[in-house]
C-alpha cells in the first residue's frame, strides 16, 4: 500500500469514529426530546438526568460495589470517601429543602426492622458476587458486561417478588420511621459522615491515595445530578422500584393478578403498572443510566462486543441466583446503595445508616464467596 493510501486509511478511521460519536450525541438528544414531547417536559428532563448518571458512573469509572471491594481487600479508601463526600453535598441541600417544602418533596425514609437489616446484609453480599449494586448492574449491563446482562432481568424479577411479600416481612417487626431533619438533623448527619470518613482513613493502607481527583469530581457530579433528581421528581434518586415495576408490568401483561399483593394492589402502584413506563420517575432514570453507560462504552470502544468470561457453569448459576436475591433483598431493605445508602442518608433517614453497616458487613461475605463460586476463574 502506498504512503498516500495509508494516510488516507488512517484519516478515515478517526473520521468514522467522530461520525459515530456525533450520532450518539444526536441520538441522546432526540430520545430526550421525544420523551419530553410525548410524555412531558419533566419526564424528558428526568431521562436526561438518568443519562447524566450513566455517563458519570461509566465515564468516571465510579460506583459503589467497586470502592467497597477496594477498601475491604486493599484498604484503599478513595472511592468510599468520595461516596461519603457526595452524600454530604446532597444532604446540605436536601435536608433543609425537605423541611421547608414538606408538602412538595419527600425523602428516602423507611423503618428499621429485622427484614430491613437482613435484606441489607444479603444485598451487600450479592453485590460483591456479581460486582454490581443496583446502579452498578444497570451501568455494567449498559456497557455490555455479560454477568450484569444476565443478572439484570433476575434483579427485576427479585424486586417484583420482594415487593409482593414486603408487608409480610415488615410485619416481623420494625421501628417507626426515624429521621434527622432541620438544621440539627443536618448537623448530626454531617458529623456521622465525618466519623465514617475518619474510620476509613484510619483503616487505610499506608501510602494509599486518600481521595483521588477523579473520585472527587465524580462525587460532585453525582451530587449535582441527585439534587436535580430531587428537585425535578420531588423524590430522591432511586433504582430498585423501577426494576420491580418493569417485572410487574410484564406479569400483568401475561394475565397475572396483582390484587393478591398488598404492595402491587395499592392504588399508587396499580396506577404506575397501568401507566406508561415513560411516566415513572425511577424507570426513566434507570433507562437513562443504561443508555448513558451504553453511550460511553460505544464512544470509547466503537462497539460493545465483549468476550464472554471463561467461568464454570456454577458461576452463571450463581449470577442468576445472586441477581434475583439482589432484587428481593433490596425491596426488604427499602433500597440499594442508591435508594437506601446514598439517598437515605442524604435525606436524613436513619435506616440509611443501619443499611450501610449491614450491607458493608455482607460485602465481606460476598467477597469470600465470589472465588468459591467460580466468578474469578480465568482461562
Residue 263 inside a domain? The answer is yes
Low-confidence ranges of the chain (pLDDT < 70): 1-17, 302-305, 377-379
pTM of the model: 0.92
Q: How many Cβ atoms sit within 10 Å of the Cβ of residue 122?
A: 23
Query: Looking at the 3D structure of the chain, how many domains does it have?
Result: 1
Residue 19 inside a domain? The answer is no
Q: How many Cβ atoms sit within 10 Å of the Cβ of residue 253?
A: 9
pLDDT of residue 376: 83
The span from the CA of 121 to the CA of 360, in Å, is 7
pLDDT of residue 185: 95
The span from the CA of 106 to the CA of 144, in Å, is 34
pLDDT of residue 19: 73
pLDDT of residue 303: 58
Residue 21 inside a domain? The answer is no
CA distances from residue 347 to 16, 124, 258, 352 in whole angstroms, order as listed:
46, 21, 31, 9
pLDDT of residue 10: 42
Residue 53 inside a domain? The answer is yes
pLDDT of residue 189: 97
Nearest to 189 by CA among 30, 349, 14, 356: 349
Q: How many Cβ atoms sit within 10 Å of the Cβ of residue 350?
A: 22
pLDDT of residue 178: 93
Domain hosting 363: range is 27-300+309-372
pLDDT of residue 16: 64
What is the Cα 111 distance to its own chain's centre? 21
Residue 6 inside a domain? The answer is no
Residue 39 inside a domain? The answer is yes
Residue 156 inside a domain? The answer is yes
- CB half-sphere exposure, 62, CA atoms < 13 A: 28
The span from the CA of 208 to the CA of 78, in Å, is 8
Residue 252 inside a domain? The answer is yes
Nearest to 107 by CA among 339, 332, 356, 271: 339
Amino acid at each position: 500500500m502506498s504512503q498516500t493510501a495509508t494516510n488516507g486509511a488512517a484519516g478515515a478511521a478517526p473520521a468514522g469514529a467522530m461520525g459515530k460519536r456525533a450520532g450518539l450525541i444526536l441520538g441522546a438528544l432526540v430520545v430526550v426530546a421525544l420523551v419530553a414531547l410525548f410524555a412531558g417536559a419533566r419526564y424528558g428532563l428526568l431521562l436526561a438526568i438518568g443519562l447524566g448518571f450513566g455517563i458519570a458512573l461509566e465515564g468516571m469509572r465510579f460506583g459503589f460495589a467497586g470502592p467497597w471491594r477496594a477498601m475491604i481487600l486493599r484498604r484503599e479508601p478513595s472511592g468510599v470517601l468520595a461516596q461519603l463526600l457526595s452524600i454530604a453535598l446532597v444532604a446540605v441541600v436536601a435536608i433543609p429543602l425537605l423541611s421547608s417544602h414538606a408538602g412538595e418533596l419527600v425523602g428516602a425514609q423507611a423503618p428499621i426492622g429485622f427484614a430491613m437489616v437482613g435484606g441489607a446484609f444479603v444485598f451487600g453480599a450479592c453485590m460483591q458476587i456479581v460486582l454490581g449494586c443496583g446502579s452498578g448492574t444497570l451501568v455494567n449491563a449498559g456497557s455490555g458486561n455479560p454477568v450484569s446482562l444476565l443478572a439484570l432481568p433476575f434483579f427485576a424479577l427479585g424486586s417484583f417478588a420482594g415487593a409482593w411479600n414486603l408487608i409480610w416481612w415488615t410485619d416481623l417487626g420494625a421501628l417507626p420511621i426515624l429521621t434527622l431533619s432541620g438544621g440539627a438533623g443536618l448537623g448530626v448527619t454531617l458529623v456521622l459522615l465525618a466519623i465514617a470518613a475518619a474510620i476509613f482513613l484510619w483503616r487505610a493502607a499506608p501510602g494509599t491515595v486518600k481521595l483521588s481527583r477523579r473520585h472527587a469530581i465524580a462525587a460532585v457530579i453525582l451530587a449535582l445530578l441527585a439534587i436535580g433528581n430531587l428537585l425535578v421528581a420531588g423524590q430522591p434518586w432511586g433504582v430498585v422500584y423501577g426494576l420491580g415495576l418493569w417485572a410487574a408490568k410484564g406479569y400483568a401483561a401475561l394475565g397475572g393478578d396483582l390484587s393478591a399483593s398488598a404492595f402491587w394492589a395499592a392504588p399508587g402502584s396499580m396506577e404506575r403498572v397501568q401507566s406508561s413506563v415513560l411516566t415513572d420517575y425511577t424507570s426513566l432514570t434507570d433507562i437513562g443510566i443504561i443508555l448513558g453507560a451504553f453511550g460511553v462504552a460505544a464512544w470509547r470502544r466503537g462497539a460493545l462486543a465483549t468476550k464472554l468470561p471463561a467461568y464454570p457453569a456454577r458461576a452463571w448459576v450463581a449470577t442468576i441466583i445472586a441477581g434475583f436475591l439482589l432484587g428481593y433483598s433490596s425491596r426488604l431493605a427499602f433500597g440499594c446503595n442508591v435508594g437506601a445508602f446514598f439517598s437515605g442518608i442524604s435525606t436524613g433517614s436513619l435506616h440509611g445508616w443501619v443499611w450501610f453497616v449491614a450491607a458493608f458487613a455482607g460485602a465481606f461475605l460476598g467477597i469470600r464467596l465470589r472465588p468459591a463460586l467460580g466468578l474469578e476463574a480465568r482461562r
